[in-house]
Structure 1
Amino acid sequence: MTHYRALPAWALAAALAALAAPPVQAQAGAALAAPTADARGVLHDAGGMTLYTYDPDAAGRSVCDGPCARIWPPALAPADARAAGALDLAVRDDGSRQWAVHGRPLYGYVADVTPGQASGDGVNGNWHVARTTP
């Protein structure tokens, strides 16, 4: 008899909700203010939620679309956003702009539910907490 380890109910609910909904920023219809760094250099959005980078992205270009962007919503930038310091901008396939750090596009993570939480760090070996230092 084979035994499977069950996912916690909250993780399953978050994943199902993420797959059923469009990216968080698209639902809100608003771009995000420029990310800010805490004392350790970790980048957060205006709500204090941790931001992440994705290894397969090319410099200045996001490859996380569709189902990926539902779980890892892009940190969209307003049309008038300007690069400053370590922060710059990436262009998405749909032409929208996304905040980036050192050319690496930034994302949130739907499983992070409280400010400062960083449960996406290391997911699939490709997702990392975004920092101001390369």
Structure 2
Amino acid sequence: MNIREVQVGDLETVKVMIEELEELKFDSLVFEKYFISNLNDPNVHYYIVENQNQSLGFLGMRVFYPLHHCEPLLEITELIVMPGFRNQKIGELLIKFAVGFSKTHNCSQIELSSNLKRTKAHAFYIRNGFTKGHFKFSKRL
């Protein structure tokens, strides 16, 4: 298994994985616009885990600098393991990768949000050392 940085040519692969996560289809032109924009953002980092050129999962991360911490934090923005490859320690591999990445970027903690309906994902994160320490509130406009 190999974890590698996402390239522009991975657009369709990443789109399929994000659509799997969100259980919906995105407009291709809009998705491409945001994908390219994020690839050009030095604080956004995308990785694919693959085995024999088959994409098994995706990890999106963002380094940010909240004033109320006065130190860099790492946010996992997306973590996806494709359905046929779950329960094979791929998610744990991606978490370990994120931990190592956060240390090399001097981040003091890793944060993530997970939809309330994803109870299996919540159990996974808790098993991997995360705690439920915050509520996230959203307002759709």
State the TM-score, normalizing by the size of structure 2: 0.26
State the TM-score, normalizing by the size of structure 1: 0.27
Greater strand proportion: 2
Bigger relative CO (Cα 8 Å, ≥ 6 apart): 1
Greater helix proportion: 2
